[in-house]
């Protein structure tokens, strides 16, 4: 996240002033060069660092020349090098000084400081507020007071601002920023309150002020003396600025990594919701594959010779029905590639995969299971109609990525066996449409991928309707049959269609199920005449 954090103060003599600023410097993009060139580049980077420090010092010195600075307006002396923290994971450097490292940011932070402590205030003057524009950036500001026994009203006015150009990102980070900035502010206030109570116990300033005679001649001297007190003296914190540097650096790092952008067209799909619930953190990618010459499937990374049209239909039928699909062979990469293609036929919530195992795993644990060739299949599995076994026999060991499609057919043999007697010639309607798309040689890989995605979403919508009708509303068998007819799930292959819908119902996201279960029925129900 490209942002910076600054601590600001309203001085009674000089007005709003920036006290402390932390910004993140991203590492430059590496350029291809020789080793000698890299060493020269490293020298240039070090020179750039020195030049950056010089810019900081010049900015600070120029700021000092523009107006006198009292102790209350100053955090670090001009000779102080500032604070630097480096993130080992990303290489980002967090620099802290009184003013930004880059001179062009000085005016941006200055304007944010003035607005946060003057015109842009919330009711009660303490609390968070948001303001800004496209030209000068957007600002999240939190104003607060620090106790001071020598100040007018016994308190001084401060603010912490975060400046960024991304308005949406900053608004979405509001709860996170508010929660963590409050911790920093409460720490400063509680520390200053202890100092305030100790000073008041030694010399109560309220009584001293009431007993002193008012004189216009001594008023400027009193104001000058009150304005010269720094935040360090108010808190008696010897490592105040180093502590704020650590807090602001962590805030920039955490705020930049807590949110990631994801492009969604329309409402999120069921697959997206399931992936979010599983917190996989991985981007959803469309699997690109095609049916070549009625014989082969193709993925982006591995070219795999699979089955003829008849055997593929039988295998795809078992996948769509939720039966356990077992691949047994000596090449884990080949099995993984096959699973990548077959899993794309199902909603994400219906997939439970063990890519490669040295022992058999029961069907309730996984519906995709890869086994080494010497693993025996239990009798109750080989005789079950709810499983299918694909034995992969290789003529010789070889890297698949180094082979052409013609070579793959001569290296591997596939044998499919299943105890199921269910005819697959009719099959579910989804399988028939899928076969038509795969066998059409005029369709490109991308078109077939999008066709599969549309078919899956079409049938997931039917699953949602059936779930709402049968599970939530609790309608009877006769009404459910009418709904199936409206969904186009009756007719040839009706038994397979119903079985597919019930199996896919297990892949619905918990978010959708919870929404339907907790939704209140409408007060009035219309009757269909």
Residues 449 and 312 grouped into a single domain: no
Tokens representing 256 are 């930049």
**Phi then psi dihedrals of residue 417, to 5 deg:** -140, 140
State residue 136's pLDDT score. Answer: 82
Residues 224 and 90 grouped into a single domain: yes
Residues 251 and 281 grouped into a single domain: no
What is the b/e burial string over 65-75, where b = at least 16 CB atoms within 10 angstroms of the residue's CB?
eeeebbebbbb
In three-state form (DSSP H/G/I as H, E/B as E, the rest C), the secondary structure along 51-65 is HHHHHHHHHHHHHHH
State residue 419's pLDDT score. Answer: 86
Q: Report long-range pairs for 332-339 (Cβ below 8 Å, ≥24 apart).
A: 332/356, 332/370, 333/302, 333/400, 334/302, 334/304, 334/392, 334/400, 334/412, 335/370, 335/392, 336/370, 337/299, 337/301, 337/302, 337/304, 337/400, 338/297, 338/304, 338/306, 338/390, 339/368, 339/370
State residue 400's pLDDT score. Answer: 45
State residue 1's pLDDT score. Answer: 58
Residues 140 and 204 grouped into a single domain: yes
Residues 469 and 503 grouped into a single domain: yes
What's the residue count for the chain?
529
> In 3D, which of 375, 348, 202 has the Cα closest to residue 284?
348
pLDDT in tens, 400-450: 444 444 444 556 677 888 888 777 677 788 888 888 887 777 877 778 788
Residues 419 and 449 grouped into a single domain: no
Residues 295 and 215 grouped into a single domain: no
Starting at the edge strand found earlier in the chain, the sheet holding 291-292 runs 291-292, 296-298, 303-305
pLDDT in tens, the chain (529 residues): 578 999 998 887 788 888 999 998 887 755 544 444 433 334 434 444 433 443 343 444 444 444 567 777 878 877 788 899 988 888 888 999 888 877 778 888 999 999 988 888 787 788 899 998 888 889 999 999 988 888 777 888 899 999 998 888 888 888 889 999 999 999 999 999 998 888 877 777 666 665 665 555 554 445 444 456 788 888 888 888 999 999 999 998 888 777 665 555 555 667 766 776 664 333 222 222 322 222 333 432 233 335 667 777 888 889 998 999 999 988 887 788 788 888 888 888 899 999 899 999 999 899 999 999 889 999 999 898 899 998 888 655 554 444 444 444 556 677 888 888 777 677 788 888 888 887 777 877 778 788 888 888 888 888 888 887 777 766 777 777 787 787 877 777 788 888 888 898 888 888 777 777 765 454 334 333 3
pLDDT in tens, 216-266: 555 444 544 445 678 888 888 888 899 999 999 999 888 877 766 555 555
Q: Is residue 270 part of a domain?
A: no
Q: Is residue 7 part of a domain?
A: yes
Q: Is residue 523 part of a domain?
A: no
State residue 8's pLDDT score. Answer: 92
Distance between CA atoms of residues 403 and 366, nearest Å:
31
Tokens representing 363 are 């069907």
Residues 398 and 295 grouped into a single domain: yes
Distance between CA atoms of residues 49 and 43, nearest Å:
10
Residues 32 and 131 grouped into a single domain: yes
Matching residue, tokens 């502010």? 185
Q: Is residue 265 part of a domain?
A: no
Q: Is residue 431 part of a domain?
A: no
State residue 336's pLDDT score. Answer: 82
Distance between CA atoms of residues 480 and 497, nearest Å:
13
> In 3D, which of 132, 148, 150, 149 has the Cα closest to residue 140?
132
Final residue belonging to a domain, choices 224, 257, 290: 257
Residues 305 and 366 grouped into a single domain: yes
Determine how many CB atoms are found less than 10 A away from the CB of residue 227: 19
Q: Look at the chain and report how many structural domains it folds into.
A: 3
Distance between CA atoms of residues 183 and 178, nearest Å:
9
| Whether 222 contacts 229, CB under 8 Å | no
Matching residue, tokens 């003396």? 225
Q: What CATH code is carried by the domain that includes residue 338? A: 3.40.50.12430
Bridge partners of residue 393, in order along the sequence: 413
Name the burial class of residue 248, with classes exposed (0-12), middle (13-18) and buried (19+) by CB atoms within 10 angstroms of its CB. Answer: buried
330 Cβ neighbours under 8 A, 6+ residues apart: 372, 373, 392, 394, 397
Residues 181 and 296 grouped into a single domain: no
In three-state form (DSSP H/G/I as H, E/B as E, the rest C), the secondary structure along 81-145 is CCEEEECCCCCCEEEEECCCCCCHHHHHHHHHHHHHCCCCCCCCCCEEEEEEECCCEEEEEEEEE
* Domain, as residue range, for 281: 275-425
Query: Backbone dihedral region of 61: left (phi > 0), alpha (psi from -120 to 50 degrees) or beta?
Result: alpha
pTM of the prediction? 0.46
254 Cβ neighbours under 8 A, 6+ residues apart: 176, 180
Q: Is residue 439 part of a domain?
A: no
Q: Is residue 59 part of a domain?
A: yes
Q: Is the dihedral of CA 185, 191, 192, 196 positive or negative?
A: positive
Q: What CATH code is carried by the domain that includes residue 501? A: 1.10.10.1730
Residues 141 and 17 grouped into a single domain: yes
State residue 245's pLDDT score. Answer: 92
**Phi then psi dihedrals of residue 272, to 5 deg:** -65, -45
Distance between CA atoms of residues 5 and 17, nearest Å:
14
Tokens representing 163 are 């400046």
């Amino acid at each position: 996240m490209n942002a910076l954090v600054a601590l600001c103060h309203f001085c009674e003599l000089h007005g709003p002033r920036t006290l402390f600023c932390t910004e993140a410097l991203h590492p430059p993009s590496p350029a291809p060069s020789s080793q000698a060139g890299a060493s020269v580049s490293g020298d240039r980077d070090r020179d750039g660092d020195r030049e950056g420090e010089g810019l900081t010092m010049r900015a600070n010195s120029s700021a000092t020349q523009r107006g006198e600075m009292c102790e209350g307006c100053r955090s670090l002396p001009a000779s102080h090098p500032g604070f630097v923290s480096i993130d080992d994971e990303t290489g980002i450097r967090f620099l802290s000084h009184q003013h930004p490292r880059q001179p062009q940011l000085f005016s941006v932070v200055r304007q944010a400081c003035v607005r946060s402590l003057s015109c842009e205030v919330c009711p009660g003057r303490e609390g968070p507020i948001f303001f800004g524009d496209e030209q000068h950036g957007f600002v999240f500001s939190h104003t607060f007071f620090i106790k001071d026994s020598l100040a007018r009203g016994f308190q001084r006015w401060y603010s912490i601002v975060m400046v960024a150009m991304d308005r949406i990102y900053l608004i979405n980070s509001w709860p996170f920023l508010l929660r963590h900035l409050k911790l920093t502010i409460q720490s400063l206030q509680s520390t200053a309150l202890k100092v305030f109570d100790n000073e008041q116990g030694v010399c109560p300033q309220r009584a001293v002020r009431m007993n002193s005679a008012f004189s216009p001649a001594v008023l400027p001297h009193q104001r000058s003396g009150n304005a010269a007190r720094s935040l360090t003296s108010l808190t008696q914190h010897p490592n105040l600025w180093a502590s704020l540097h650590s807090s602001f650096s962590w805030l920039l790092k955490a705020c930049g990594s807590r949110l990631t952008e994801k492009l969604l067209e329309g409402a999120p799909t069921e697959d997206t919701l399931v992936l979010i619930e599983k917190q996989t953190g991985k981007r959803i990618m469309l699997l690109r594959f095609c049916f070549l010459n009625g014989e082969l499937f193709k993925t982006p990374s591995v070219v795999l010779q699979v089955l003829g049209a008849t055997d593929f239909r039988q295998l795809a039928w078992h996948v769509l029905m939720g039966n356990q699909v077992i691949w047994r062979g000596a090449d884990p990469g080949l099995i993984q590639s096959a699973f990548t293609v077959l899993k794309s036929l199902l909603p994400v919530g219906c997939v439970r995969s063990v890519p490669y195992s040295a022992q058999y795993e029961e069907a309730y644990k996984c519906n995709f299971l890869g086994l080494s060739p010497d693993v025996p299949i239990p009798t109750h599995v080989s005789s079950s109609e709810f499983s299918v076994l694909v034995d992969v026999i290789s003529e010789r060991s070889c890297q698949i990525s180094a082979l052409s499609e013609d070579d793959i057919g001569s290296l591997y043999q596939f044998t499919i066996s299943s105890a199921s007697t269910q005819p697959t010639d009719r099959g579910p309607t989804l399988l028939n449409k899928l076969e038509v798309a795969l066998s059409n040689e005029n369709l490109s890989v991308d078109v077939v991928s999008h066709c599969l995605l549309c078919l899956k979403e079409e049938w997931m919508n039917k699953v949602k309707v059936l779930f709402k009708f049968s599970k939530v509303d609790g309608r009877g068998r006769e009404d459910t049959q009418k709904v199936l007819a409206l969904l186009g799930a009756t007719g040839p292959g009706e038994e397979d269609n119903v079985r597919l819908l019930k199996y896919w119902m297990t892949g619905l996201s918990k978010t959708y199920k919870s929404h339907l279960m907790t939704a209140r029925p409408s007060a009035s129900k219309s009757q269909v005449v």
